[in-house]
Amino acid sequence: MSQPRAESPVLNQHSQLLARCDLRIEACNGSGHSHAPGRTDCWNVLDPITRQSYRVGWIERWLLTRPRRSHSLEQLYQMLRREYPELSILPEQFLSLAANFQQLGLLRVQGTPTPLKPKSNGFQSWLSSTVAWQIRGIQPDAILSRFAPRLDILFSRNAVLLWIAAALMTACGVAMEFQRLKSQAGQWDWLLSPASGGLLVAVFIATRAIHELGHAMVCKRYGVRVPDIGLFIILGAPCVYCDVSESWQLANRWQRAAVAAAGMYSEMLVATLAGCVWLATIEGPLNTLALQTMFVCSISTLLINANPLMKFDGYYLLADWLDEVNLRGKADRLALVWLHALALGRSNRPAVMPGHSPEQGKLPQKEHLTRVSEWEAGHTAEIAGASGPHFAHKSLLLVFSFASWLYRAGLSLSIAAVIVSIYASWNFAWGGRAMAAIILFSWWVLPISRFSHSLYQEASRMQRRWRLFLLAAVFLVALAALPVPTRKFASGWIQPAQTQGVFASTTAKMMECRIHDGQQVQAGQLLFRLSNQELAMRLTQRSAASEQAVARESSIRRQRDMHGFDLDLTPYEADRKTTQILYENTKREHQSLFVSARIPGYVLAQTVPNAEGPSRSDQTVPDATWCSPAEVGRVVPEGALLATICSEAMLAVIPLTDRQLSVVAAGTQVKLRVANPAGKVVQGRVAAVVQRDEVGFLANSDDHAAFHAQESIQSRTSGNSYAAIVEMPTWDSPQQRPFPGATVDAVFAAPSQTVFSLAIDWLKTNLRFLAD
């Protein structure tokens, strides 16, 4: 049964301290035997309970190792002064140092049976647990010690050189097959299809395990213990982790760098092998597996693990190169001090130790002195006699801190947006919004609130709260007036500006097809020639009947004129007109068998439904079109759509919501990304905003797969009453021209709005009682 954690007692000069015998203290530069004041020797301290590493100077090491039995702080201070009488250090400085060590759990206070863990923010821990869960695994040290000697050759210098040569050769081979790689990767089937998606998850887990085993193997190569291997569940995605925190005990920083780089090296080994398999295979399951492994182990490794702005391998490599423990903590603390000075100005009061009032004195500015910085969990103290890093080093730390914050801020927004879109696609939008809110609260609100609180405390200490309030007011006014580019996102479809459906006016037999799918045609050009024997016979009969009626009328008219007979010509004239009308109608119907184009454009062939009669080959061809030569001889039913003539001019139809309608008008700039065929991005302006009823839809969309996306968007936006019409530019070649019905994603560049106006609009939308 676990014991409740005791509260950290307040230290004073009579507090009894005990050293912890389980701390591992090793010299970080191999020369930690001198205890002379002023030396810049340092030691690494590993806490086996919290698994935190600290870098300390010689006075800190003396305090951590000296109290082998219970000593009061006053006794320890007197012992230090007797051993090093030339050292100038105030009692309150020594008390502050001991208090910081006690808060970190590095010193025991008499009466506390177990070391105290540093206090953590329970609410922040709860927020973190909603995003990531840690499942501790086995203690693999014994197993790794058995297998590490057998795999040690993979991490030798010769093996690394051999891998570099193989990686260069593989990269050259992939570069030579770049068009094949681009075509296969651009289809996204290897990522988005259910089967490939499940395989990708398995590849990710397996390669993460190889990555972490690489760290563990190099740790064992240098004799470092690996206490734990387990599993992290980050946003629902499993990820293997390996605890290599004890690698900070390595005195050589290049050995620590080797441990940090071992995971990426292991993945790049796998990526090289996967590249060779991909080059040697054709498209299929094995080829897809090789492609996924190659991408996961190369691109994701370089973009994520090698990134020094996140606490992954690249960060620890940078820390080892700079020989800094807790690089981010030190950089953030330096940035915090710089921001305090920028906001409040330089302090005219003496510097004081953490946890003490200003009246307790300033730090003596003498040559041999331990200057103790603020100690927080994972922070280090400045070593004895050090005057701090030089200007270039400080500048590098400042740049690193601000770059890390900007990167994490952008990353949090990207992750939140991706989560919202993914959960929305699962019809679980509120869950995605809640998860995004937790991420933004923990990555934005909490750090800003902590910074504001520390800034207020510093302003109170410096008696400059008026300056802080004035700065806050100016900042809020500037933020409220800051113009924010407004972007509205929507989806629509592509359709021609003008279309002509080519229909069969009567049931007839296909005799000739003079076009093919995608062919350019001119107005009046013959497209199809059909044949109907019954219609041909009826045309012949009505032609003869018309000629006979004309002959009868002429004969009666001559008899009347020559012989003076009183004959009534009205029936004969009516019979002539009737037969002529029937003949003309039949003639036009017969001429309609010669199907021509009425507008210029390109041909969009239509699929053949189940019609009467077999094709010429007596076989039904799947997805055959009327433009196919195999369909010559097939009976075409009356009203069948043979083809569609689409004009060269194309329009993008973008349905608009009510909120989008308030900022989108004719002339609004818009960027369009056409999903077919190559995701080309074009720029244009909105030609008009019309009602959805005025937008003509393409006919017979069920007969062409390209129209399914259009139907899907129409169903999703059925409640939208208006749509934006954007004229598409001309295309360089027919291969680049999108099919009608292709999906298009639009980004409208609306006029900029201030933060204040955006907040008011949001309140009006979400709080009904504030609406006009």
Q: Is residue 739 part of a domain?
A: yes
Q: Is residue 372 part of a domain?
A: no
Q: What is the DSSP letter of 159?
A: H
Domain shared by 630 and 662, yes or no: no
Measured CA angle at 330 (ends 325, 332), to 5 deg: 140
- Do β-strands 237-243 and 641-646 pair in parallel, antiparallel, or remain unpaired? unpaired
Of 481, 509, 542, the last residue of a domain is 481
Domain shared by 706 and 760, yes or no: yes
What CATH code is carried by the domain that includes residue 717? 2.40.30.170
**For residue 738, pLDDT beyond 90:** no
CA-nearest of 262, 213, 258, 226 to 51 is: 226
**Count of positions (residues) in the chain:** 772
CB 417 within 8 Å of CB 440: no
Of 89, 119, 149, the last residue of a domain is 119
Q: How high is the pLDDT of residue 381?
A: 35
CB 184 within 8 Å of CB 283: yes
Of 645, 676, 702, the last residue of a domain is 645
Number of Cβ atoms within 10 Å of the Cβ of 406:
11
C-beta pairs of 308-311 under 8 Å, 24+ apart in sequence? 308/400, 309/400, 309/403, 309/404, 309/407, 309/408, 310/404, 310/407, 310/408, 310/411
Q: Is residue 64 part of a domain?
A: yes
Domain shared by 505 and 580, yes or no: yes
Per the structure, the complete domain to which residue 38 belongs is given by: 16-119
Domain shared by 513 and 620, yes or no: yes
Rounded Cα distance between 726 and 749, Å, is 13
Domain shared by 251 and 231, yes or no: yes
Number of Cβ atoms within 10 Å of the Cβ of 312:
17
CB 65 within 8 Å of CB 390: no
Domain shared by 170 and 223, yes or no: yes
CA-nearest of 115, 184, 101 to 380 is: 101
Start-to-end C-alpha separation, the chain: 61
Rounded Cα distance between 163 and 226, Å, is 26
Which pLDDT tens digit goes with each residue over 347-362? 554 433 333 333 333 3
Q: Is residue 457 part of a domain?
A: yes
Domain shared by 664 and 731, yes or no: yes
Domain shared by 718 and 699, yes or no: yes
Which pLDDT tens digit goes with each residue over 594-626? 988 888 888 888 888 764 444 444 444 556 788
* Signed CA dihedral, 474, 480, 481, 482: sign only: positive
| Minimum mean pLDDT range among 136-150, 167-181, 326-340, 696-710 | 696-710
Q: Is residue 664 part of a domain?
A: yes
Q: Is residue 398 part of a domain?
A: no
Cα 65 to chain centroid distance, Å, stands at: 49
Tokens of 172: 């050259």
Rounded Cα distance between 772 and 755, Å, is 19
Domain shared by 606 and 751, yes or no: no
Tally of structural domains, the chain: 5
Which pLDDT tens digit goes with each residue over 414-431? 888 877 777 776 777 788
Q: How high is the pLDDT of residue 105?
A: 79
Domain shared by 163 and 288, yes or no: yes
Domain shared by 181 and 82, yes or no: no
CA-nearest of 393, 391, 469, 431 to 235 is: 431
CA-nearest of 697, 741, 713 to 657 is: 713
Q: What average pLDDT score do residues 562-576 get? A: 78
Tokens of 420: 């919202």
What CATH code is carried by the domain that includes residue 576? 2.40.50.100
CB 668 within 8 Å of CB 490: no
Which pLDDT tens digit goes with each residue over 274-326? 999 999 988 888 888 888 888 888 887 888 888 888 888 888 888 888 877 77
Tokens of 116: 């105290």
Rounded Cα distance between 616 and 153, Å, is 69
Rounded Cα distance between 124 and 130, Å, is 10
Name the helix (H) or strand (E) containing 454.
helix 446-461
Domain shared by 592 and 690, yes or no: no
Q: What average pLDDT score do residues 93-113 get? A: 75
Q: Is residue 346 part of a domain?
A: no
What CATH code is carried by the domain that includes residue 31? 3.90.930
Higher pLDDT among residues 559 and 727, named by residue = 727
CB 130 within 8 Å of CB 438: yes
Structure-token match 């000739």, residue found: 512
Which pLDDT tens digit goes with each residue over 449-484? 888 888 888 888 888 888 888 888 898 888 888 887
Burial class (CB in 10 A: 0-12, 13-18, 19+), 413: middle
Q: Is residue 309 part of a domain?
A: yes
